[in-house]
Amino acid sequence: MIFHFRHAKDLIILTAITQTCSLYSNYFWLLWALAPLRGFYLVWVNFLGPWFFQSPPEQPEMTEKKQKKMERRMKRMG
């Protein structure tokens, strides 16, 4: 995953909002918990989610000729 400029801009905006709001109450520093949550969300959506939920590769269907050839090979081996 590539770190785009817009992600850096989002962090700068979150920092500015957090610092401004923290002038009124110290509890606004908890807004910084949104940064790792956003990072995990981006990793999940772009990398982990598609990797976990991808469909298994489909097996190509064998033609009748290929199937007979495979059966003959199996008879020779076993």
> Residue 7: which H helix or E strand, with range?
helix 5-21
Do 35 and 11 touch, CB atoms closer than 8 A? yes
> Whole domain around residue 44: which residue ranges?
1-54
Do 12 and 53 touch, CB atoms closer than 8 A? no
With respect to residue 29, please indicate whether it lies within any of the assigned structural domains.
yes
With respect to residue 31, please indicate whether it lies within any of the assigned structural domains.
yes
With respect to residue 6, please indicate whether it lies within any of the assigned structural domains.
yes
With respect to residue 28, please indicate whether it lies within any of the assigned structural domains.
yes
How many structural domains is the chain composed of?
Answer: 1
pLDDT band at 78 (very low <50, low <70, confident <90, very high): low
Give me the mean pLDDT over the 2-30 stretch.
Answer: 87
With respect to residue 37, please indicate whether it lies within any of the assigned structural domains.
yes
With respect to residue 48, please indicate whether it lies within any of the assigned structural domains.
yes
Decide if pLDDT at 70 tops 80: yes
Do 7 and 42 touch, CB atoms closer than 8 A? yes
* 15 CB-near residues (< 8 Å, 6+ apart): 32
